[in-house]
Amino acid sequence: MKVLGSKPYTVTRYAAVTYTSHRPVAAVESTFTIHASVQPLSGDEVQLLGLGDRVRKTRKAYTATLLRTVDEAAEKPADEISISGTTYEVHSVETQTAVIPHYKVILMAKQI
């Protein structure tokens, strides 16, 4: 199912970090394509972010694909989406069930 006004975007998903001789080994990555409607955050949505996050480049995306936020316990990084040359990390995912089930995803530009 596609969300109205959606375009294809590439998502990068990382497996959990593994360890060899007590040293972390880079997580294996996979990529897949989703369809999403990407939009800027409203002023109210920006105000809900933490103070440090308000200065970061942000977007929201509506998609039928469940994306993953960071899972620190399992040592799995958040999914990443490339939009117009900028890499964004999935910050939060909210399930929307009215009329057509989909997800509202808050994205933040990846900090290097």
pLDDT one-digit tens code per residue, 8-21: 999 999 887 788 88
pTM: 0.84
Percent over 70 (pLDDT), the chain: 90
Of residues 47 and 109, the one with the higher pLDDT is: 109
pLDDT band at residue 4 using 50, 70 and 90 as cut-offs: low
In CATH terms, 7-109 corresponds, of 3.30.2350.10, 3.40.50.2000, 2.40.10.270, 1.20.58.340, to 2.40.10.270
Tokens of 55: 């200065």
Mean pLDDT of the chain: 86
Strand partners, 8: 35
> 13-17, 21-25, 47-51, 102-106: which range is least confident on average?
47-51
Q: Where are the domains of the chain?
A: 7-109
Question: Residues with Cβ < 8 Å from 32, sequence gap 6 or more?
Answer: 10, 11, 13
Compute the C-alpha angle 54/56/57, nearest 5°: 115
The DSSP bridge pattern shows strands 23-25 and 7-14 to be unpaired
Mean pLDDT of 17-38: 87
